[in-house]
Amino acid sequence: MKLRLLTPGPTPVPEETLLELARPMIYHRTPEFRQLLAEVLKDLQYVYCTKNPVIPLTSSGTGAMEAALASVCPPGSKVICLIAGKFGERWRSICQALSIEAISVTVPYGQAVTADQLAQALKDHPGAMAVCSTLSETSTGVAHDIAAFGKLVAATPAVLLVDAISGLGVMECRTDDWNVDICVTGSQKSLMMPPGLAFLAVGDKAWKLIDKNPNPRAFYFDLKKAKKSLESTGDTPFTIANTLIRAMKVSLKRIKDEGLENIQARQARNAAAARAGFLALGMEIFPTPPNNALTVGKMPAGVDSSAVLKLLETKYGMKLANGQDNMKGKIIRLAHMGYIDQFDIIAALSGLELVFGEMGHFSEPGKAVAAAQRIWAQAVKTGG
Amino acid sequence: MKLRLLTPGPTPVPEETLLELARPMIYHRTPEFRQLLAEVLKDLQYVYCTKNPVIPLTSSGTGAMEAALASVCPPGSKVICLIAGKFGERWRSICQALSIEAISVTVPYGQAVTADQLAQALKDHPGAMAVCSTLSETSTGVAHDIAAFGKLVAATPAVLLVDAISGLGVMECRTDDWNVDICVTGSQKSLMMPPGLAFLAVGDKAWKLIDKNPNPRAFYFDLKKAKKSLESTGDTPFTIANTLIRAMKVSLKRIKDEGLENIQARQARNAAAARAGFLALGMEIFPTPPNNALTVGKMPAGVDSSAVLKLLETKYGMKLANGQDNMKGKIIRLAHMGYIDQFDIIAALSGLELVFGEMGHFSEPGKAVAAAQRIWAQAVKTGG
């Protein structure tokens, strides 16, 4: 059986990147590796749309979120956490572990925090040192209006910390233009790499707070030390996952060759097609507004997503994601980012049609795939 | 030119492990991956000689050192750091970053901290919560007597935290028998993997302190959370570098097939051969006592190790390590761990002979390689 990985991270890794991972081991403290690292970080500036330094970490994206908070905010400081799902909650959990006071602005799963809610929170808590948000909330598929959030936060002394782990590269994310002070991402989403690396683009307003922080609760995650090391030696303070960096250059070449705007336009079409297919299958689109990194469908009444996903995997080799925690069984999450293209989406819709049909929940073979096809055909007509 | 990596981490990765790294990406929240992770952690218990749970982290070894200290020791607690080089100093730096009071027991580079020194420190500081040591001090090549340290610390309320990053798997390290309460290692040394993973074997005495710690300065590095997650779901709390875990099973198979004691005996012979070769070249053995993970030679008067290593690399493709920081130019570090075998050692000695000769520091071609050969021939005679 041919296997298809369609989860919102890890995502499939291009064949040429996989082969790069099989190349012999190298030492990391050499001019050649420093050059390679510099090139990768420069390519990431392109993906981030930033002139700010990009800091690499060997960790999951959560490690980079902790690095941001621990480096900027001393214990006892106050932070506004915009919470629309599991990863917004993670910002709050990190605050709690670091003795930072978290002010929660919470919306029900499937909805987005609005700019008005943030404006009110900033008014109510003028002493807040940072605002934490997700770009793509991977647990629900919702998109946050980071451009609007950035405008509001830029007018205050606070900094905006954005978890763009599943969003960067597939959704528009103009780090500098949108005043994102720290933008976090991970390797295993749109960047088409295995997990193991995380990155932060850190701007001047954040560096000023980091420099002034009398008590950064970090050693491995100390951003000041990481920046100093990169500036003075071109190197990381601790051994980095150097073969992942080497492979990442290959995946980044794919991004540069296609062009960021082309990728985002293409994946926006694929997201629209996936949504059309899900609706045709009788699912609702769970998030409002939905983002272009993944499509999250709410199951029709009486249909258990766990059963659907199990049959889809065992019978057709397709791995989509279930809901997490209390969303389990209620939603299906289909990724369209990185090395997942439109023909992977149509395959997924084809598989879902068959499984829904076999389970007695669908009786119009071809309806969902046709709905997706119409989106792409329309795009071709209009030059997409 | 054929390249040879002979640095004390990263070390060469076996071909079958490299090929495993090139296999397609997988999802990590599945029964299959949980099973794989459980097998890898079980294999690591074998390498650690422990029945204690082994906690995996996506980070460098330093991250795991921080995880140990942050999870065990609240801010304001007191810790004894045994410092014989750069990695002993790292324990102290982590303490400082975490507001833990570090009592330094320091010896000059090239020497080992003795059990007597530790006994005195424990007497002088009965309130110390932990003792931090290296097994193999990678910066100088010195070996610490962890068995003796463990006996001393076990008689006190303190816990023994050991950085066995470059030592585990190549040097004897009986975690349980020696009363090592937390034993830290990294993937890129004897475990024959790229960097990116770190591990901690954590014993009951340490878990008790971790459970009682009112203020663990960690989120990503919170060992209590990691253990709870492994116990309840068989999973890590955050996305692990899952393709590295999958590849690690392949490298661990190599260790299990040969057998830990056989590997250690073989590498002890190789270390003895390397030392004999270095002495024949006119170098002194820098560390007392030397360990079996790497051989560190002090340059003869007037010879700059940087020049030697540069010529060795550019002309013969051999990458050995220089000294770090103020040891740069003064020593050469040759690894014999993991996928570096005796014929790699003889190649290194051959290259060093030629380079020393070309630079005018050596005029007896064959002397160093013959010295090493005699060690191995003697071992064959006595059944080694």
- The predicted-structure confidence for A82-98, as pLDDT tens digits, reads as follows 999 999 999 999 999 99
Domain A260-381 has CATH 3.40.50.300: no
For β-strands A136-137 and A142-143, DSSP reports them as antiparallel
ipTM of the complex: 0.95
Among the partner residues A27, A63, A196, nearest to B196 by beta-carbon distance: A196
pLDDT digits (tens, 9 = 90+) for B85-122: 999 999 999 999 999 999 999 999 999 999 999 999 99
pLDDT of A384 reads: 66
Cα distance between residue B215 and residue B64, in whole Å: 18
A9 contacts B26? CB cut-off 8 A = no
Q: Which residues of A touch B58 (CB under 8 A)?
A: 58-60, 63, 195-196
pLDDT of B217 reads: 84
* The two structure tokens encoding residue B209: 């302190």
Among the partner residues A25, A188, A239, nearest to B5 by beta-carbon distance: A25
Cα distance between residue A163 and residue A174, in whole Å: 13
**Shortest Cα–Cα distance, B381 to chain A (Å):** 35
Q: Which residues of B touch A222 (CB under 8 A)?
A: 97
pLDDT of B34 reads: 97
Angle between the N-to-C axes of helices A204-212 and A61-72, in degrees from 0 to 180, rounded to the nearest 10: 60
How confident is the model over B184-202, as a mean pLDDT? 98
Helix (H), strand (E) at residue A162? strand A159-163
Q: What's the number of CA atoms in the CB half-sphere (13 Å) around residue B192? A: 28
pLDDT of B216 reads: 85
How confident is the model over A104-130, as a mean pLDDT? 98
Q: Which residues of A165-175 are buried (b: 16+ CB within 10 A; e: fewer)?
A: bbbbbbbbbeb
How confident is the model over B58-84, as a mean pLDDT? 97
Q: In the structure, what pLDDT confidence band is assigned to residue A217 with cuts at 50, 70 and 90?
A: confident
**Collapsed DSSP state (helix, strand, coil) of residue A381:** helix
| Averaged confidence pLDDT in chain B | 97
pLDDT of B384 reads: 66
Residue A335 to residues A275, A291, A305: CA-CA distances in angstroms? 11, 11, 16
**Shortest Cα–Cα distance, A380 to chain B (Å):** 31
For residue B239, pLDDT beyond 70:
yes
Residue ranges matching CATH 3.40.640.10 in chain B:
15-257
Among the partner residues A63, A99, A319, nearest to B220 by beta-carbon distance: A63
Residue ranges matching CATH 3.90.1150.10 in chain B:
260-381
B59 contacts A63? CB cut-off 8 A = yes
Q: Which residues of A touch B18 (CB under 8 A)?
A: 21-24
pLDDT of A215 reads: 82
| pLDDT > 90: percent of chain A | 97
Cα distance between residue A136 and residue A128, in whole Å: 23
SS3 readout for chain B: CCCEECCCCCCCCCHHHHHHHCCCCCCCCCHHHHHHHHHHHHHHHHHHCCCCCEEEEECCHHHHHHHHHHHHCCCCCEEEEEECCHHHHHHHHHHHHCCCEEEEEECCCCECCCHHHHHHHHHHCCCCCEEEEECEECCCCEECCHHHHHHHHHCCCCEEEEECCCCECCECCCCCCCCCCEEEEECCCCCCCCCCEEEEEECHHHHHHHHHCCCCCCCCCCHHHHHHHHHHHCCCCCCCCHHHHHHHHHHHHHHHHHCHHHHHHHHHHHHHHHHHHHHHCCCEECCECECCCEEEEECCCCCCHHHHHHHHHHHHCEECEECCHHHCCCEEEEECCCCCCHHHHHHHHHHHHHHHHHCCCCCCCCHHHHHHHHHHHHHHHCCC
What are φ and ψ of residue B104, in 5° steps? Answer: -95, 130
**Shortest Cα–Cα distance, B304 to chain A (Å):** 18
- CA nearest A7 in B: which residue? B27
Q: Which of B65, B100, B220 to mutate to probe the A interface, most A CBs <10 Å?
A: B220
| Residues pairing with B185 in the sheet | B199
Among the partner residues A19, A24, A58, nearest to B58 by beta-carbon distance: A58
**CB contacts < 8 A (A, B):** 159
Among the partner residues A24, A196, A319, nearest to B241 by beta-carbon distance: A196
Q: In the structure, what pLDDT confidence band is assigned to residue A216 with cuts at 50, 70 and 90?
A: confident
CB B55 within 8 A of CB B226: yes
Answer whether the bond into residue B289 is a cis peptide, omega within 30°.
Answer: yes
For residue A312, pLDDT beyond 90:
yes
> What is the spatial order of strands in the sheet that A130-134 belongs to?
A54-58, A197-202, A182-186, A159-163, A130-134, A78-83, A101-106
Cα distance between residue B34 and residue B333, in whole Å: 38
pLDDT digits (tens, 9 = 90+) for B112-141: 999 999 999 999 999 999 999 999 999 999
What are φ and ψ of residue A21, in 5° steps? Answer: -65, -20
**Fold of the B15-257 domain:** Aspartate Aminotransferase; domain 2 (3.40.640)
